[in-house]
Chains A and B, each alone.
Chain A
Amino acid sequence: MIANFLIGLREGLEGALVVGILVAYLVQTGNRRKLPPIWAGVAGAVAVSLAFGALLSFASATMSFRAQEALAGGLSIVAAGFVTWMIFWMRRTARYLKSELQGRLDAALAMGTGALALTALLAVGREGLETALFLWTAVKATGQTTQPLIGAALGLATAVSIGYLIYRRAVRLNLATFFRWTGAALVVVVGGVLAYGVHDLQEAGLLPGLTSVAFDVSAAVPPTSWYGTILKGVLGFSPESTWLQVAVWLAYVVPVLTLFFMPARTTRRITAPVSTPSTAVSH
């Protein structure tokens, strides 16, 4: 029961995190009307995953692990791209808020709505197929035991609740704090998604270096332990990581975090003469 609970939690945590932050952002900036497309994206991801998973589970269709890893890895990298875009989009649109350029904010929102829905869809759908396959096998086992299904469902429900709690906390933060923390945290989360995706592609044989392991701390951080689950679910941390994963993680997180904290000042100085750097992103 606990083990199945942890699988559900791990698979759901990251999507819940991204969607929770995205929804909090839209609510914070007074754009509740932009929420339906986001929910539609989430619903679309869940529906596609469940349908495809059911097809594989019940229609005697199989998908080789290579195809499955290639799909998961590919989706991870695309999702990483979209969430990165979302991080910088949130920051850019916040500037318009403060400089009272409501027209430009609306334009950015209009342009971004489809992409935001797609971001939500990818954030949830990335692990969706794997989660759906796992859920359906739990459903299949209900003839003998309902424990796996209850465990998995509780795990997913817990992930969604954590996403909700993050949303509740995030809507109470002031906008500047909100950006600094959620933005930086998301960059680290996305780094994990990227590294995880690279590992999937290595398993699929599309990228080399699967056996060149940089570190293996799986004895200290067992992947099936609760803390291993949280680390994997939130930060995408693999206790056994390849050199390529480490390299990709560093090559993403270091420059993107630097970009996230640095050039906003430059841009503000150039394009937002009405506000001083200190007030540009704060209330």
Chain B
Amino acid sequence: MPPTMLSTSLVLSAVALTCAAVAGCGGSAAAGQRTTITSSDNACVLSTTTLRAGDNTFAISNTGKSTTEVYLYARQDGRFTKVVEEKEHIGPGTTATLSAYLQAGSYEVACKPGEKGDGIRAPITVR
């Protein structure tokens, strides 16, 4: 079906273009230090809160009953509002991986069970 093949390739090129424009595709999820984040309905637990600068991988599991989101915030104007990375729509019982290249400094991880609000914050330090 020529029109559909055309449209499929259009979508694929859109994907490629986005990757090129935002420089956000590729790379290995297993690189660098690995930290686990357990997001439940009322807690946000990290395996460690002191990380090494460089590539970091976060293995997230949702052990709660509601869908969750995990955000990694950096400081902006004295508050942790700048999104470094995020993962949305993590269903109960599922896992997700979040990767980020982190420079030394203070950050906050936020688990957002119910996908709303500021979330449950966990401060982390990167050295």
Contacts and interface: CB of A to CB of B under 8 A. Distances in A.
A3 B67 contact: yes
B92 A62 contact: no
Contact of B3 (A1, A118, A152): A118
12 contacts: A3-B91, A61-B26, A64-B24, A71-B15, A75-B14, A113-B3, A114-B2, A141-B93, A223-B116, A224-B67, A224-B114, A224-B115
Interface stretch (A142-150, A156-164, A258-266): A142-150
Interface size range on B against A: 35 or more
B78 interface: no
Given A71-B14, A114-B3, A240-B116, A65 B67 contact: no
B42 to A, nearest CB: 15
Contacts of A211: 81
B102 interface: no
A131 B65 CA distance: 19
A208 B4 CA distance: 35
A117 B3 contact: yes
Given A63-B25, A224-B114, A147 B81 contact: no
Nearest to A152: B91
A138 B117 CA distance: 25
Question: Is chain A's binding surface mostly helix, strand, loop or mixed?
Answer: helix
Interface stretch (A33-41, A175-183, A268-276): A33-41
A168 to B, nearest CB: 26
Interface residues of A, number: 57
A71 B24 CA distance: 11
A44 B4 contact: yes
Given A40-B4, A75-B14, A224-B115, A67 B22 contact: yes
Given A148-B91, A148-B92, A66 B67 contact: no
B61 to A, nearest CB: 9
Interface stretch (B5-13, B43-51, B103-111): B5-13
User: Which of A71, A113, A117, A239 is the most central at the interface, judged by chain B CB atoms within 10 Å of its CB?
Assistant: A71
Interface string A195-235: 00000000110000001000000100011100000000000
Contact of A67 (B6, B25, B94): B25
A60 B15 contact: no
B30 interface: yes
B57 to A, nearest CB: 9
Question: Is chain B's binding surface mostly helix, strand, loop or mixed?
Answer: mixed
B24 A68 contact: yes
Contacts of A141: 93-95
A35 to B, nearest CB: 12
A114 B66 CA distance: 41
B4 A117 contact: yes
B103 to A, nearest CB: 16
The 8 A-B residue pairs with the shortest CB-CB distance in the complex, in nearest-first order: A67-B24, A64-B24, A114-B3, A4-B91, A218-B116, A40-B4, A67-B22, A71-B18
A151 B14 CA distance: 31
A121 to B, nearest CB: 5
